[in-house]
Amino acid sequence: MEIIIDIDDPVPLFSQLMEQIKQAVLDGKIKAGDALPSIRQLANDLDINSKTVAKSYRLLERDNVIQTKGYRGTFVHPDAKVNSMIDLNTTIFEHLSKVIEVLRDRGATDSEIRIAFGTVMNNRKD
Amino acid sequence: MPDLLLITFYGVFLSQIFLLSYYYPNKLYQRMRYVAKTYPPSKYPKLYPNLLGSDADDIAKTRPKPYRYINMAIMVAGLLLLVVAMRSDYYPSGEGEETFVFLFAMLQFLPFIYLEFSECKQLKLMRDVNKASKRKAELEPRHFFGFVSPSLFGIAVILFFAALWFNFYIKDYDLSWARGTLTSVLALIGIHLYFAALFMWQVYGKKINPHETHKDRRIHRGVVVRVMVYTSIGLSVLMITVQSIREYNLDYLEPLIMSIYFQILAVIGIGTILHSNPIENIDFDVYKENV
């Protein structure tokens, strides 16, 4: 199974990596329980920063597509196939679009919405 | 018996000259010529990042020639040494000639080391010139035992510790510098630390060749790791053998053992590379212009 990333692509590298791993799961190229390369190995092979790979792995782990088992390494999650179908970005986009629509209907300007969004995000405790 | 030792030594030394300065250099030279002829710079420009222009194909074909001439010069020097030794009634005594055999072997290995450095330089240039925005990687983890069998590695580990223990045992656990125990032990440990670093670099390090296919890279890595394990076994066996012959006053065998050792080193090093990675199996299409 081969991963190909394009450093000139406007899509962030970590997103390209996440999408390809999810696609590999959906295509059945990697199955539940399969071992994945270490962050360092993948970063070195792709000649990208290891923090980028770490970010992809962290987000995939959050989405239950992969799981880290300590020193044994990183593996494909048992529910990876189902979880790979869920696109959190689309959900976020849909929800935010609805909220922005409501706020605009009530007369809020775009800058007010941006400032409020930034303030709410910055003041989050968790 | 003494005559047998003399004949054996001359035979083994002649074999060293042949193997290290003719047989393997010739094999490598033929390999380089084959690559230059079959995959010329005009069709495979990515393979020759420093060769441009209309005469690049001819330069690529003639480039390996100095390597051949150097090896031939070393071979002639070796044969001359052998003749001088024969005419001066030399007889193996182990009173320092093993150092001479060692130095001559080092001289024979120099062209190989030069080739390695040239390859590293070439690969660095390939990486610098490579402007491809797409980068590829395999989504499979690499492990040490993916390249070498656990049993072979186990033998190497056992022999490493056996050589360390034997070194202490035969010197009555005398750790003084004067008896050379610590020097030998530190040399053995140092070489193995170097192997460990080389392994980490080969298996987990950055890509050395930016164009190589995953399959070829896997084969190349496997060859390097196996050669390291074989060399480790050879080193441990050599240390045990040398310590034994010194301890049992068989010093006159030392030049012979040294020569055999370097030949084995050449067979497991260069021989494994040539045998395990035939040029015909390497995918050169990746070096074409539009790939």
Domain regions of chain A by residue span: 13-84, 88-123
Whose tokens are 């044994």? That residue is A72
Whether residue B190 lies within 8 A of chain A, CB to CB, comes out as: no
What per-residue confidence (pLDDT) applies to B179?
A: 67
Nearest to A37 by CA among A9, A13, A17: A17
Query: To 10 degrees, the CA torsion angle through B213, B219, B224, B226?
Result: 160
**Cα separation, B78 vs B105, whole angstroms:** 10
CB B290 within 8 A of CB B211: no
Q: Which two tokens stand for residue B179?
A: 């008896």
Best mutation site among B138, B139, B147 for testing chain A: the one with the most A CBs within 10 Å?
B139
Q: What is the CATH topology of the domain spanning A13-84?
A: Arc Repressor Mutant, subunit A (1.10.10)
> Which B residues, 96 through 135, put their C-beta within 8 Å of a C-beta on chain A?
133-135
Three-state secondary structure of A49-105: CHHHHHHHHHHHHHCCCEEECHHHCEEECCCHHHHHHCCHHHHHHHHHHHHHHHHHH
What per-residue confidence (pLDDT) applies to B2?
A: 55
Name the residue facing B206 among A3, A6, A47 (closest C-beta).
A47
Using DSSP, state whether B247 is helix, strand or coil: helix
Residues of chain A with Cβ-Cβ distance to B214 below 8 Å are 2
Q: How close B146 gets to chain A, by Cα (Å)?
A: 13
In the beta sheet, which residues pair with residue B62?
A: none
**Which ipTM did the prediction report?**
0.74
Q: What are B198-205's contacts with CB under 8 Å, separation 24+?
A: B198/B224, B198/B228, B199/B144, B199/B225, B199/B228, B203/B142, B203/B144, B203/B147, B204/A38, B204/A40, B204/A41, B204/A44, B204/B142, B205/A44
Best mutation site among A18, A41, A75 for testing chain B: the one with the most B CBs within 10 Å?
A41
Residues of chain B with Cβ-Cβ distance to A44 below 8 Å are 204-207
pLDDT of A43 over the 90 cut: yes
Whose tokens are 């395999």? That residue is B138
Mean pLDDT, residues A85-105 taken together:
88
Nearest to B41 by CA among B63, B24, B72: B63
What per-residue confidence (pLDDT) applies to B98?
A: 77
Q: Which two tokens stand for residue B249?
A: 């006053």
Residues B254-287 pLDDT 10s: 888 889 999 998 998 888 888 888 888 899 999 9
Mean pLDDT, residues A71-95 taken together:
87
Nearest to B239 by CA among B221, B225, B254: B254
Nearest to B146 by CA among B198, B218, B196: B218
Residues B196-210 pLDDT 10s: 998 888 888 888 888
- Using 70 as the pLDDT threshold, list the residues of chain B that sit under it: 1-2, 178-180, 291
